[in-house]
């Protein structure tokens, strides 16, 4: 079981969490619980580091920011004990959870679960602070922001758990953002790959890395709400959204929609370079300096050559990297040989995602037609096996998501809504 920051924010909420944990134990489970810091706490700690030393040493940053989870793990153990349960905390360095030495964004390497399993078998609830580990040099590490999800999946894999229940402030994964589309539906199941695509295009329910790890280790993950009453359906009845493999999903033989979800991402910016020479190697000169500076390019389009053997190239980069991108391209202007650089950060990437499109034609054309009918202009397109993305004007984001949600027949029927 994993509880996020809003679920752990304060004594009352921790008591609610302890109740949910106690009920799972009473239902016959041995339980390990992974917790986040209280909501807002990690941001507060990061700020202290910045104030102390703007060029902070990441190893000391980890010592500071890992403390938020130390507090909540101890408090949850205390609260469970107050309810008469046996419980103890296991800090990252005590287990230990071994990571590499990439401070502030460490990766979990291995994890010795023997002591943990023995204590759980003896009826003790194990409470583990998320987000933290131990480097080869015996120093505290953290796993990157949102890393408690990854801790939870790693613990579940190490103890061979039946399920990893991730309790959060939403009751599952939806076909799209319910704040944009009131008729968005909660999905009972999504596959790991769909979840990865939905997470990487802006549906921030889980840390992306936790989903990759779950896929690799075959951990069945459920996303569900911790804001529930005592008579809410038990977690074992799967009230949330299950994230599972393609095979498990096929075995369920449910009626599948062609498209599983629609995501919107406003974190990219578009750059166009005009009149680049249409010859081998020209495009490489554009992207080499960006790659060398760790700037991730996402969508790319190159137009057909015009009469003078010249072409325009358009691509997207994270908004946060736009200034650096412009500077790098300007620096390399002679080498690349472009005429003008035009950029636009008022764009949004809209993606339709679903494993169903592997075996169905016409997904992209439905998308283009639906957008065209509303006069929404498409500025760039990219696709993968289970995703079609388009770049549009940022102001049209909400309209596009609504139109597509209806076009793919995802709207909840009135009686079900």
**Chain positions contacting Mg ion, by CB under 5 A:** 4, 146
* Phi and psi angles of residue 151, each rounded to the nearest 5 degrees, phi first: -55, -45
- 272 makes contact with ligand ASP (CB under 6 A): no
Residue in this structure with the two tokens 């289970």, named with its chain if needed: 386
The crossing angle, in degrees rounded to 10, of helices 41-52 and 67-82 is: 150
CA dist., res. 124 & res. 231, Å (int): 25
Q: Which does 275 bind (CB under 5 to 8 A by kind): ligand ASP, Mg ion, none?
A: none
CA dist., res. 317 & res. 352, Å (int): 20
Q: Which does 351 bind (CB under 5 to 8 A by kind): ligand ASP, Mg ion, none?
A: none
CB of 68 or CB of 354, closer to ligand ASP: 68
Size of the site for ligand ASP (CB under 6 A): 12
- 88 makes contact with ligand ASP (CB under 6 A): no
Site for ligand ASP in 40-59 (CB under 6 A): 42
76, containing H or E segment: helix 67-82
Torsion of CA 326, 328, 333, 338, to 10 degrees: -50
Please identify, among the stretches 146-154, 162-170, 281-289, 324-332, the one whose residues bind ligand ASP according to the rule CB under 6 A. Answer: 146-154
CB of 4 or CB of 261, closer to Mg ion: 4
For 237-258, give the DSSP string.
Answer: G--SEEEE-HHHHHHHTPPPPS
CB of 77 or CB of 223, closer to Mg ion: 223
Please identify, among the stretches 142-150, 181-189, 294-302, 395-403, the one whose residues bind ligand ASP according to the rule CB under 6 A. Answer: 142-150
- 147 makes contact with ligand ASP (CB under 6 A): yes
CA dist., res. 218 & res. 243, Å (int): 10
In the complex, the smallest distance separating the C-beta of residue 133 from ligand ASP, rounded to whole angstroms, is: 12
Question: Are 205 and 168 in contact, with CB atoms under 8 Å apart?
Answer: yes
Q: Which does 240 bind (CB under 5 to 8 A by kind): ligand ASP, Mg ion, none?
A: none
Binding site for ligand ASP (CB under 6 A): 5, 36-37, 42, 68, 130-131, 145-149
């Amino acid at each position: 079981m994993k509880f996020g920051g809003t679920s752990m924010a304060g004594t009352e909420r921790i008591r609610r969490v302890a109740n949910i944990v106690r009920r799972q134990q009473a239902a016959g489970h041995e339980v390990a619980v992974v917790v986040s810091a209280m909501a807002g706490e990690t941001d507060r700690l990061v700020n202290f580091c910045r104030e102390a030393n703007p060029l902070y040493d990441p190893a000391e940053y980890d010592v500071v920011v890992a403390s938020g989870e130390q507090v909540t793990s101890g408090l949850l153990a205390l609260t469970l004990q107050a309810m008469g349960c046996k419980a103890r905390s296991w800090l990252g360095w005590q287990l230990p959870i071994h990571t590499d030495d990439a401070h502030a964004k460490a990766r979990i390497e291995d994890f010795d679960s023997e002591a943990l399993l023995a204590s759980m078998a003896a009826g003790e609830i194990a409470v583990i602070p998320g987000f933290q580990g131990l480097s080869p040099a015996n120093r505290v590490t953290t796993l990157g922001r949102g890393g408690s999800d990854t801790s939870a999946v790693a613990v579940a894999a190490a103890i061979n758990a039946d399920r990893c229940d991730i309790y959060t402030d939403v009751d599952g994964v939806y076909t799209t953002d319910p704040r944009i589309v009131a008729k968005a539906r909660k999905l009972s199941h999504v596959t790991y790959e769909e979840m990865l695509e939905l997470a990487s295009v802006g549906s921030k329910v889980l840390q992306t890395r936790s989903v990759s790890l779950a896929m690799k280790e075959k951990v069945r993950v459920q996303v569900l709400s911790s804001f529930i009453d005592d008579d809410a359906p038990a977690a074992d009845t799967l009230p949330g959204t299950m994230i599972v493999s393609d095979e498990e999903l096929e075995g369920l033989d449910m009626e599948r929609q062609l498209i599983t979800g629609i995501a919107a991402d406003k974190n990219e910016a578009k750059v166009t370079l005009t009149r680049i020479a249409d010859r081998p190697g020209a495009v490489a000169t554009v992207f080499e300096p960006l790659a060398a500076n760790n700037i991730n390019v996402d969508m790319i389009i190159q137009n057909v050559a015009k009469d003078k053997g010249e072409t325009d190239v358009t691509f997207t980069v994270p908004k946060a990297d736009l200034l650096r991108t412009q500077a790098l391209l300007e620096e390399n202007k002679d080498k690349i040989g472009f005429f003008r650089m035009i950029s636009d950060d008022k764009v949004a990437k809209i993606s339709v995602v679903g494993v169903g499109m592997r075996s169905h034609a016409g997904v992209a054309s439905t998308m283009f037609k639906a957008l065209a009918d509303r006069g929404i202009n498409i500025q760039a397109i990219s696709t993968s096996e289970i995703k079609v993305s388009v770049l549009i004007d940022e102001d049209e984001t909400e309209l596009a998501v609504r139109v597509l949600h209806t076009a793919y027949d995802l709207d909840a029927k009135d009686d079900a809504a």
